[in-house]
Chains A and B, each alone.
Chain A
Amino acid sequence: MSANRTAAGWASGRLSTAELAANFSDLHPPLDRHEAHVEADRCYFCFDAPCQSACPTSIDVPLFIRQIQADDPIGSADTILRANVFGGMCARVCPTATLCEEACVRNAAEGKPVKIGLLQRYATDVAFDRGRQPFTRAPATGRRIAVVGAGPAGLACAHKLAELGHDVTVFEVRPKLGGLNEYGIASYKAPDDFAQREVAFVLSIGGIAVEGDKRLGQDFTLADLRRKFDAVFLGLGLGGVNRLGLPGDDALEGVMDAVEWIATLRQTADKSQLPVGRRVVVIGGGMTAVDAAVQARRLGAEEVTIAYRRGLEAMKASLYERQLAQTNGVLIRTWAMPVELLGDNGRVTGITFERTAEVDGKLLGAGECFTLAADMVMCAVGQVLVPSDLGGEELPALKGGRIVVDDERRTSLPGVWAGGDCVAGGKDLTVAAVEDGKQAALSINRALMGVLAAAAE
């Protein structure tokens, strides 16, 4: 047993190396060939399949599953990747319970959908292991497109543009490419450096140049890009986070942003070196809150509580994610609004909540308060677009703090497209970001190449 298991306050190495290794290995072990064949046999090959309609990238699910069943995992992966070049990551992180698997007719039949996510992973893993390249580039068009942000939206856009024969330059400020795939996903969802292997695959099509360590609005402006390139795609993500807005949330040690903590955890190879509190409170109700809370438990925190100001049904975290939290020993407390951070000697010691109630659709404090002891408080109360990240004086139109786009992902600025978390009305999902990038690329191609391009699609 590790000596630091029950150490008060912050401590690293609460768990043994073996425990940590188990806790941060694959959340869902992959299916082996036989398991995949058995599961694939459950697919009914539906007409106009509801699962395909439920997929933001419209992957032909029945076809790829039939290809697995017929022992052609390579053909299956081709089907997946042609619709979604990030099919490997989406297989790992998609909330399938609320997308394809929710739509599966097996739910109506017996309450158990086909394990579409795991099948998708099986096929894409085989293709990755065999070094399959399903794409060839169209003849060079001579057109140049700038993509800002190397997350799923930006890279999906860059990949489709490269496939169509355009030359793409991707600008990224962080040291590694991949965006939230690299920095924002819980470690146990994509172990073994999968995000980087996938980025390498995406870039291997050719025609994509990467300009690293370059920040829009600091190293160049949007106007520069519009002048130098034939089109611009903005896949900026959300660079800022909401704060609690309580005294001490930027001063007390132990109060931190969950997004940043998740990124740090992902980038820490030796998890035993990463300190975590003994009592952790996570504020928020989305996937970020769950990822932070579950990983805190898996690092060895003794008590982890998610506190959310509304009821369970209002949480953005799906039932599946909430159950994941609960089976990992995370307590979910609802109808609780943080009102005061407590500290001692500059360190957080607890947080006081006021119970809430919804009256006529408005959330109100109910007066009664309770306090949770905490040596670590993580805020997961939403991310925001930082206007300065847009890099320029002439900005695309915003709505609710995010970029407005039309169906083709065109912004209000001519020659500028956008997608992913930075656009208004988005689903904040990897798979939705990939679709944004793909659709923007097709729109850019139509704009640059005219009717011929549209006909060729």
Chain B
Amino acid sequence: MADLSTTFLGIKSPNPFWLASAPPTDREVNVTRAFRAGWGGVVWKTLGAEGPPIVNVNGPRYGAIHGADRRLLGFNNIELITDRPLQLNLQEIKAVKKAWPDRAVVVSLMVPCDEESWKAILKVVEETECDGVELNFGCPHGMSERGMGSAVGQVPEYIEMVARWCKQHTRMPVIVKLTPNITDIRYPARAAKQGGADAVSLINTVSSIVSIDLDRMAPNPTIDGKGSHGGYCGPAVKPIALNMVAEIARDPETRGLPISGIGGVTTWRDAAEFIALGCGTVQVCTAAMTYGFKVVEELKAGLSNWMDGKGYRSIEDFRGLAAPNVTDWRYLNLNYVTKAVIDQDLCIQCGRCHIACEDTSHQAIAATVDGRRMFVVKDEECVGCNLCIEVCPVEGCITMQPLAAGAIDPRTGLRVEPGYANWTTHPNNPMAQVAAE
């Protein structure tokens, strides 16, 4: 059986599944339940500076978009950082860490952007004997209006500055949690590294309005007729998160920087994908908030069974294996020619491939053969775009088959060249011509 244990910045946990800083990790009772259920670690819900507790709205905090049968696909919140007294949180963190020494307990922090505030909070958090801190530079709602959260995370210079303060004032590992609400994730990641941060975690939530209530003519969730943008998370944001993780993993300036992956991890497969891009742990929130802590059983068993099937004995065996295969478009092999092939034995004749291709793409799938309803790819029109595969309701019914080198592509009439050739050397590329001259 595969070994799921991880050591991330020296922090050991029995499996890579940590609960992200959020309502599930706001109090001892929840975290104890989570550890009992089998979670490898938690990032405690963000603590603020000493002072009057944070005030949350008293109306609804969450919104969602649903798929079939109200399956929750995307989740949105306008909740702020912990609204419980700092001292209470610190006591509980200390008690939990003492009771669960084999689990990771990292504490998320968000205080005003001055050195004294950070110094002060780090001192008291260190006393809990927790394993590390995560700097919340991510939350896009509420706290950002007060110059914290994503207001810091959107300015690389601030990230670097705060990360440096934290490294100066604590012996604990420092993780910087990044906001996706920026143009290029590499800049804040580089800043975190420059500031000395030990790792980054990403993504925090995406600024969002989840829906408009058409009766009240206001955003959801609606507070007395008004709404505010929230932070979006859940399965819908995973692709955004994967891309940002990959960007950091392959950026020469940040390559090798430890990453804790966050964003829509719902099943073991999602977790494996983040790890394959290089993440040392993954953080989960929405799946737990939707189904409860028990989902960790599926996450652990699924990851372990998949690893056994692949012959991976530890997380490190496959961590980062997909990162080198993320590249720029210009380096993709233009000699790789594929055609869609429909397996007639699996086809249920819904015709979605045909109408999608016919109306919106390349008119490359016939709907009838000899007057009979039958869906067949016209190789002379097919550009191998994959649309048919994505709209087909039957998994594996349509596949993309590469043409062998030397074969004639019926669409272009050209021979498929052997070997690799990309845009940088393509004759149609003016820059390539310039280089050649």
Our verdict on whether A and B bind, yes or no, reads yes
* Chain A residues within CB distance 8 Å of chain B: 34, 37-38, 41-42, 44-50, 105-106, 108-109
B394 within 8 A of A: yes
CB distance A44 to B68 under 8 Å? no
Q: How far is the CA of A37 from the CA of B70 in the complex (A)?
A: 9
Tally of chain B residues near chain A (CB < 8 A): 15
Neighbour of A44 across the interface among B67, B350, B354, B373, CB < 8 A: B350
- In the complex, what residues of A have CB within 8 A of residue B394's CB? 109
- In the complex, what residues of A have CB within 8 A of residue B350's CB? 44, 46-47, 105
- In the complex, what residues of B have CB within 8 A of residue A49's CB? 351
- In the complex, what residues of B have CB within 8 A of residue A38's CB? 68-69
CB distance A41 to B69 under 8 Å? yes
Q: How far is the CA of A49 from the CA of B70 in the complex (A)?
A: 26
Known: A38-B68, A38-B69. A44 touches B393 (CB 8 A): yes
CB distance A48 to B393 under 8 Å? no
Closest 9 CB pairs of A and B: A47-B351, A41-B68, A47-B355, A108-B348, A105-B348, A46-B350, A44-B350, A105-B350, A109-B348
Min CB–CB distance B390 → chain A (angstroms): 14
Q: Which of B350, B367, B393, B394 has the most CB of A within 10 A?
A: B350
CB distance B352 to A44 under 8 Å? yes
Given contacts A41-B67, A49-B351, 19 further A-B contacts (CB under 8 A): A41-B68, A41-B69, A42-B68, A44-B352, A46-B349, A46-B350, A46-B351, A47-B351, A47-B352, A47-B354, A47-B355, A47-B367, A48-B351, A48-B367, A105-B350, A106-B348, A109-B348, A109-B393, A109-B394
- In the complex, what residues of B have CB within 8 A of residue A45's CB? 352
Q: How far is the CA of A107 from the CA of B367 in the complex (A)?
A: 19
Neighbour of A108 across the interface among B69, B70, B349, B367, CB < 8 A: B349
B 347-377 contacts with A by CB, 8 A: 348-352, 354-355, 367, 373
Interface secondary structure of A, over-half rule? loop
Neighbour of A46 across the interface among B68, B70, B352, CB < 8 A: B352
Min CB–CB distance A113 → chain B (angstroms): 11
Q: How far is the CA of A392 from the CA of B142 in the complex (A)?
A: 85
Known: A44-B393, A109-B394. A50 touches B349 (CB 8 A): yes
Q: How far is the CA of A88 from the CA of B309 in the complex (A)?
A: 54
- In the complex, what residues of B have CB within 8 A of residue A50's CB? 349, 373
Q: How far is the CA of A105 from the CA of B347 in the complex (A)?
A: 9
Min CB–CB distance A47 → chain B (angstroms): 3
Q: Which of A34, A41, A46, A49 has the most CB of B within 10 A?
A: A46
- In the complex, what residues of A have CB within 8 A of residue B69's CB? 37-38, 41
Q: How far is the CA of A109 from the CA of B350 in the complex (A)?
A: 10
CB distance B68 to A105 under 8 Å? no
- In the complex, what residues of B have CB within 8 A of residue A42's CB? 68
User: Which B residue's beta carbon lies closest to that of A53?
Assistant: B373
- In the complex, what residues of B have CB within 8 A of residue A41's CB? 67-69
Q: How far is the CA of A42 from the CA of B351 in the complex (A)?
A: 15
- In the complex, what residues of B have CB within 8 A of residue A47's CB? 350-352, 354-355, 367
Min CB–CB distance B351 → chain A (angstroms): 3
User: Which A residue's beta carbon lies closest to that of B66?
Assistant: A37
User: Which A residue's beta carbon lies closest to that of B365?
Assistant: A47
Q: How far is the CA of A50 from the CA of B150 in the complex (A)?
A: 52
B 300-348 contacts with A by CB, 8 A: 348
Min CB–CB distance B359 → chain A (angstroms): 9
Min CB–CB distance A42 → chain B (angstroms): 8
Min CB–CB distance A177 → chain B (angstroms): 40
Min CB–CB distance B357 → chain A (angstroms): 10
Min CB–CB distance A101 → chain B (angstroms): 14
- In the complex, what residues of A have CB within 8 A of residue B373's CB? 48, 50
Q: How far is the CA of A37 from the CA of B354 in the complex (A)?
A: 26
Q: How far is the CA of A364 from the CA of B68 in the complex (A)?
A: 56
Q: How far is the CA of A139 from the CA of B355 in the complex (A)?
A: 38
Min CB–CB distance B387 → chain A (angstroms): 14
- In the complex, what residues of A have CB within 8 A of residue B68's CB? 38, 41-42
Q: Which of B70, B351, B354 has the most CB of A within 10 A?
A: B351
B 382-423 contacts with A by CB, 8 A: 393-394
User: Which B residue's beta carbon lies closest to that of A40?
Assistant: B68
Q: How far is the CA of A393 from the CA of B373 in the complex (A)?
A: 49
Q: How far is the CA of A50 from the CA of B351 in the complex (A)?
A: 10
